[in-house]
Chains A and B, each alone.
Chain A
């Protein structure tokens, strides 16, 4: 590994001091002179025709400046399939449907006005179960698509299917086959900072959107389309406040943003809409529920022969990026472990439930739960230790997977071995002779994720501009965004390293589309890799310009010069060393040919956007990992306690080990919540637990001392060898825990979360399989 000055160091977050002193400004804290407060009237019915909307009483509330509905505003269509509108006309399809909105001088007036809006409905049939929604006689959630073409059924027209090798032949060659059905429900991001925005038009009709989006550039395009739909021709600028958590929730544009735009335009004043916690729960889009069917087989030695996965996703009533998660689920489905013959098929179905979105992991936690639980079942059939099963099938560097992914660096095997060692797997797995009500067991599960971007959009690029002043201070304008993960710190490290200056000399500017170049967004664990490479390349261009000039000054070839410690260093003759600032000023204030150093680079990874057969290389490199967990199951209460948790990740190289560990620890806790406690409870489309009291994210008392193990494989494509790490940490938590529960008490739980009542029911079921508990099994 090359010697570095600041890359690889545990540099504290550059925005830390602002955050600990309360100076950081989030969207909630932002006020603009003349600003009004917007509030939304949501549907009272889950599926109905809107007969009439009476806003007359709302309009009379003092302070109210505008009340809008779909009937007095232009239609703004949005979403991945453009099947959603900012305000609903004629028909509602879910409880969170936006029927009207108010702008008022105070939040209280806006709320009062919303309460006074009267809507008359005529109920329509609804459907909540995706399997039922697929039946020919099921009520149709949408009669037509966005273009008005009639729809035959509730199935989304999305071609999520991939096949490679010969699954039938693979199955015939199998000595063992395991199959199972796995089910995961809704969970939600629970960002501590809720969603919100402020829309503001200038007198020329240009829109500035103050936001906390994860996708400033794409949001800008979306808002431009909205202006077009409104018959306006202004420019759009997206300015981000600090983001109080993202996790995929802010990866799309939403109705409340378009409503703020409509209200701001109607009133001629800035309009702020910020969600309260209840809205954040019911009116944002959660991770989608999936029912997965897995069949996989292996030969007599346990080598995988085939894998077949089919799944049904509950899309909800409209379509966001969540509907594209199968394009990422395909990746572990076809390529986690070496499997020669694979088939994957996903069906997304409209229902009258809340519509879904991506969440950290982008589908991979759902499908990995199914694959990795099923792999343990297969290992048992073979009579193999699950550890051995995984080692026999682990991915290797240099392989090309059946789907066409080019595996470059790969620390999969090393991660498995690290987990086994640190968990003392050999001694702890399959402990015999446990007595008493508390039983311990160990389990593991692996992951594969994109580690070098993911081309789910036509461009997976990011731009960076760098300029240097007369004193060696560097401004870096990146298209990417910090969402708390520390992107601004990591970019500072990369640029400081490349330009040989102290990290305090580097300033990173993000989150303003008027100033920063284009970037597809903060998702897919791509920012360190893609924005990092973009910044690295721009910094190298600036470095080369400086060295070229210094070479002329020093009459030395640039090849023997370098930038280190704020100096231009001559490798062959240290007496020629010059302070960087001196070189910069000489260039700027030269008698002729004055110059300042600056550069721009747009980095587009050399990867394939998968369409048609869905084969190709999706990402520049892939992230691998293995999690191992020891649990203690209380057979009297069903409670599962995490005793030890090891998370080994192939990270390429840790640019900032402290921030990286933080990513893993945070993701694992989210993964443990997904496994054990988190569940949005919907009844007939209505969310029953829209608060932190009833939706259980883990607290400090539940904190697990996660042991992150950093496996460095130094990826040649990554900036300083780095791969992405934002999402991988929560991908294998649930199956690792489910597998450990099986080791402890011998019951398989195929449905998340693994709540005490489910564990207990499974234990009772095992004792009396034909008793009344068998009937109970189905309900919950």
Chain B
């Protein structure tokens, strides 16, 4: 039996009818139509489906849509406003931290959450922060570099802005 829920996704309110067994990832991708959130395994192993719920990273493939009723959800599409990239996104592009790109949205959101928590992370903290996001292409080296660079960009924004 479907039930109505309200979600705020990237600042937009959505009223949806979902099954109690529907996972957030499928609701975001299929009902709302935001396909930037990826489904890489469906069982919480790969991190590709990471989204932010009230600013905290969650695996949307393990999260029931009904359990986030009324919460603020940020997907990769909501990270930047307008044509300007968010500093984490910008750092990923500049530092070559992307190859096939399938892990990228989840990776970036995990990185964003990490930098919100620890603005100036050590390399170990970065690695721990994205340990739940698998990448098969890059070997993580440039991703770790990019997150370090993003921390610098954010610090500059803080200073100048």
Which A residues fall within an 8 A CB radius of B? 10, 12-13, 15-26, 28-29, 189-194, 242-247, 276-277, 483-486, 658-659, 661-662, 665-670, 691-693, 697-701, 703-706
Q: Which of B48, B104, B133, B137 contacts A700 (CB 8 A)?
A: B133
Q: How many Å lie between the Cα of A657 and that of B38 in the bound state?
A: 29
Which residues of B sit under 8 angstroms from A22, Cβ to Cβ?
34-37, 75-77, 105
B76 with A699: CB separation less than 8 A? no
Please encode chain B, from 72 to 109, with 1 for each CB lying within 8 Å of some chain A CB and 0 for all others: 00011101100001000110111110111111110010
B136 CB within 8 Å of chain A: yes
Q: Report if A244-B100 is in contact (Cβ < 8 Å); known contacts: A13-B93, A192-B135.
A: yes
A701 with B45: CB separation less than 8 A? no
B40 CB within 8 Å of chain A: yes
Q: How many Å lie between the Cα of A571 and that of B120 in the bound state?
A: 52
Q: Report if A16-B136 is in contact (Cβ < 8 Å); known contacts: A22-B35, A693-B45.
A: no
In whole Å, how far is A380's beta carbon from the nearest beta carbon of chain B? 31
B99 with A193: CB separation less than 8 A? no
Q: Report if A662-B142 is in contact (Cβ < 8 Å); known contacts: A22-B76, A486-B99.
A: yes
A192 with B38: CB separation less than 8 A? yes
Q: Report if A701-B141 is in contact (Cβ < 8 Å); known contacts: A191-B100, A691-B43.
A: no
A697 with B136: CB separation less than 8 A? yes
A16 with B144: CB separation less than 8 A? no
In whole Å, how far is A733's beta carbon from the nearest beta carbon of chain B? 11
Q: Which of A246, A484, A693 contacts B101 (CB 8 A)?
A: A484
In whole Å, how far is A728's beta carbon from the nearest beta carbon of chain B? 14
Shortest Cβ-Cβ A-B pairs, 4 listed: A22-B36, A484-B100, A19-B101, A669-B139
Q: Which residue of B lies closest to A14 (CB)?
A: B93
Which residues of A sit under 8 angstroms from B133, Cβ to Cβ?
700
B141 with A705: CB separation less than 8 A? yes
Which residues of A sit under 8 angstroms from B37, Cβ to Cβ?
22
B34 with A484: CB separation less than 8 A? no
A19 with B127: CB separation less than 8 A? no
A245 with B100: CB separation less than 8 A? yes
Q: How many Å lie between the Cα of A644 and that of B42 in the bound state?
A: 35
B80 with A24: CB separation less than 8 A? no
In whole Å, how far is A280's beta carbon from the nearest beta carbon of chain B? 9
Additional 7 contacts, C-beta under 8 A, given A17-B85, A277-B45, A668-B139: A12-B93, A192-B103, A484-B98, A669-B140, A692-B45, A701-B127, A704-B139
B65 CB within 8 Å of chain A: no
Which B residues fall within an 8 A CB radius of A? 29, 34-43, 45-46, 48, 75-77, 79-80, 85, 89-90, 92-96, 98-105, 108, 126-128, 130-144
Q: Which of B45, B93, B127, B136 contacts A670 (CB 8 A)?
A: B136
B139 with A666: CB separation less than 8 A? yes
Which residues of A sit under 8 angstroms from B134, Cβ to Cβ?
190, 192, 692, 697, 699
B96 with A703: CB separation less than 8 A? no
Q: Which of A13, A23, A245, A277 contacts B98 (CB 8 A)?
A: A13
In whole Å, how far is A249's beta carbon from the nearest beta carbon of chain B? 11
Some 7 contacts from A to B, beta carbons below 8 A apart, are: A12-B94, A15-B101, A19-B104, A20-B85, A192-B135, A484-B100, A701-B128
Which residues of B sit under 8 angstroms from A698, Cβ to Cβ?
140
Which residues of B sit under 8 angstroms from A191, Cβ to Cβ?
100, 102, 136
Which residues of A sit under 8 angstroms from B94, Cβ to Cβ?
12
Most chain A CB neighbours (cut-off 10 Å) among B75, B133, B136, B139: B139
Q: How many Å lie between the Cα of A192 and that of B41 in the bound state?
A: 8
Q: Which residue of B lies closest to A16 (CB)?
A: B93
B127 with A700: CB separation less than 8 A? yes
In whole Å, how far is A647's beta carbon from the nearest beta carbon of chain B? 10
B46 with A665: CB separation less than 8 A? no
A484 with B85: CB separation less than 8 A? no
Q: Which residue of A lies closest to B147 (CB)?
A: A700
B43 with A277: CB separation less than 8 A? yes
B76 with A243: CB separation less than 8 A? no
Which residues of A sit under 8 angstroms from B141, Cβ to Cβ?
665, 703-706
Which residues of A sit under 8 angstroms from B93, Cβ to Cβ?
12-13, 16-17, 20
